[in-house]
């Protein structure tokens, strides 16, 4: 997306992540848009027409659909339906959307727009390793949006269980690995940007019935001197009958408590390291948090 004082310019390719394929950019933009309203496929035809008209787009007749035949792209002879043509036109416009004269707005008004937009994502963990469209428009807008983005939004560290066979032991060991999208996002951040993160959500997919999916929320206060940690399970804990009541197994509760304590220990070290300057996350802290969750679950 673009902002320009006098004319429209193409998005700066240097603002994208290392994966710049068209499919990835499309998924990126739909991810940010989807949190505000549903995909175009779920819209009524009347709503699509209104959006096409409001956006100043025009539809060409006689367009044909493409399909894959043994990985070879071909064109179908049948015309695309009006609904499909409108969806294709709107999606293409989203990928090349523009903000003409946006920078002519007062700085405080631009900040209000940023805050309004980002407020929709404040409590939902962001898992895609990308920046919102406004931050990709040009460098000035990225400098304005980024501080609000990293201060107010919750970023997800996605972990998944993997079997590891320790040659010293006959039994299978479990370890947590960071998913590629999380690793890409955190490793591409500059040290200065990473230090401004204040909200994290660690999601550990254990693939074990007695653990399920473990969520660990981390909230660091603005000065960076205090923090809160809360862990829970997405799936119900295994339960046992006791006097007519079904209570969680003590082992499941103990593991959650262990995860919470180990994550707390990592953050206390981070706060102590920075002293009066407050907590500033390093990439090593992200890896330490992964290890803390792993140890809390299986050691």
Whole-number mean pLDDT of the chain?
74
pLDDT for 149: 87
Task: Give yes or no: residues 119 and 164 share one domain.
Answer: no
> Would you say residue 146 has pLDDT above 80?
yes
pLDDT for 205: 84
Single out the residue in 104, 132, 147 at which a domain terminates: 147
Is residue 205 within 8 A of residue 179, CB to CB? The reply is no
> Would you say residue 21 has pLDDT above 50?
no
Task: Give yes or no: residues 50 and 163 share one domain.
Answer: no
**If pLDDT is split at 50, 70 and 90, which confidence band does 292 have?**
very high
> Would you say residue 176 has pLDDT above 70?
yes
Single out the residue in 125, 147, 169 at which a domain terminates: 147
Is residue 30 within 8 A of residue 39, CB to CB? The reply is yes
Burial class (CB in 10 A: 0-12, 13-18, 19+), 197: buried
> Would you say residue 249 has pLDDT above 60?
no
Task: Give yes or no: residues 136 and 15 share one domain.
Answer: yes
Rg (CA), the chain: 24
pLDDT per position as a tens digit, 39-76: 788 888 899 999 888 888 887 654 444 544 555 544 44
Centre a 10 Å sphere on the Cβ of residue 9 and count the other Cβ atoms it contains.
13
Q: Which of 64-68, 145-149, 257-261, 263-267 bottoms out in mean pLDDT, i.e. has the lowest?
A: 64-68
What are the DSSP E strand ranges found in 17-122? Answer: 64-69, 72-79, 99-100
> Would you say residue 294 has pLDDT above 70?
yes
Most confident of 180-184, 213-217, 282-286: 282-286
* Of 183 and 245, the one with more pLDDT: 183
Q: Range of 108's domain?
A: 3-147
pLDDT per position as a tens digit, 79-135: 568 888 888 888 888 767 667 788 889 999 999 988 888 887 777 788 776 777 777
Q: Which of 9, 287, 274, 11 is nearest to 134 (CA)?
A: 11
In DSSP terms, 74 is beta-bridged to 67
Task: Give yes or no: residues 11 and 121 share one domain.
Answer: yes
Helix, strand or coil for residue 182?
A: helix
Task: Give yes or no: residues 8 and 114 share one domain.
Answer: yes
> Would you say residue 33 has pLDDT above 60?
yes
Task: Give yes or no: residues 175 and 63 share one domain.
Answer: no
Q: Which of 225, 119, 205, 203 is nearest to 155 (CA)?
A: 203
Mean pLDDT of 231-235: 74
Task: Give yes or no: residues 126 and 167 share one domain.
Answer: no
Burial class (CB in 10 A: 0-12, 13-18, 19+), 182: buried
Task: Give yes or no: residues 106 and 219 share one domain.
Answer: no
Single out the residue in 124, 147, 170 at which a domain terminates: 147
**If pLDDT is split at 50, 70 and 90, which confidence band does 77 have?**
very low
Number of domains in the chain: 2
**If pLDDT is split at 50, 70 and 90, which confidence band does 167 have?**
low
Total-model pTM: 0.68
> Would you say residue 222 has pLDDT above 60?
yes
Q: Which of 132, 26, 137 is nearest to 88 (CA)?
A: 26
Q: Which of 126-130, 149-153, 162-166, 280-284 bottoms out in mean pLDDT, i.e. has the lowest?
A: 162-166
Task: Give yes or no: residues 173 and 294 share one domain.
Answer: yes
Task: Give yes or no: residues 143 and 188 share one domain.
Answer: no
Burial 158-172 (b: 16+ CB within 10 A, else e): bbbbeeeeeeeeeee
Q: Which of 111, 120, 117, 122 is nearest to 219 (CA)?
A: 122
Q: Which of 94-103, 206-215, 272-281 bottoms out in mean pLDDT, i.e. has the lowest?
A: 206-215
CA distance 282 to 161: 24
pLDDT for 14: 32
């Amino acid at each position: 997306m673009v902002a320009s004082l006098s004319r429209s310019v193409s998005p700066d390719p240097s603002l994208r992540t290392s994966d710049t394929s068209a499919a990835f950019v499309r998924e990126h933009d739909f991810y940010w848009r989807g949190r505000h309203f549903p995909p175009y496929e779920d819209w009524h035809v009347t709503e699509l027409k209104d959006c096409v008209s409001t956006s100043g787009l025009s539809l060409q007749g006689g367009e044909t659909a493409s399909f894959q035949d043994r990985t070879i792209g071909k064109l179908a002879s049948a015309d695309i339906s009006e609904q499909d043509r409108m969806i294709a036109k709107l999606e293409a416009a989203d990928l090349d959307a523009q903000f003409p004269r946006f920078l002519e707005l007062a700085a405080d008004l631009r900040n209000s727009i940023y805050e309004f937009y980002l407020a929709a994502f404040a409590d939902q963990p962001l898992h895609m390793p990308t920046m919102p469209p406004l931050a990709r428009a040009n460098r000035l807008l990225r400098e304005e949006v980024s501080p609000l983005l990293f201060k107010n939004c919750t970023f997800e560290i996605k972990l998944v269980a993997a079997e590891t066979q320790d040659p010293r032991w006959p039994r299978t060991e479990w370890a947590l690995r960071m998913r590629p999208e999380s690793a890409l996002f955190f490793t591409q951040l500059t040290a200065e940007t990473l230090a401004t993160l204040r909200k994290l959500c660690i999601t550990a997919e254990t693939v074990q019935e007695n653990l399920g999916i473990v969520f660990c929320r981390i909230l660091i206060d603005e000065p960076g001197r205090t923090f809160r940690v809360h862990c829970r399970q997405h799936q119900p804990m295994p339960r046992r009958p006791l006097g007519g009541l079904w209570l969680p197994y003590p082992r499941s509760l103990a593991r959650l408590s262990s995860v919470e304590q180990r994550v707390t220990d990592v953050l206390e070290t981070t706060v102590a390291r920075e002293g009066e300057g407050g907590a500033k996350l390093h990439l090593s802290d992200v890896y330490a948090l992964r290890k803390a969750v792993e140890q809390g679950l299986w050691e």
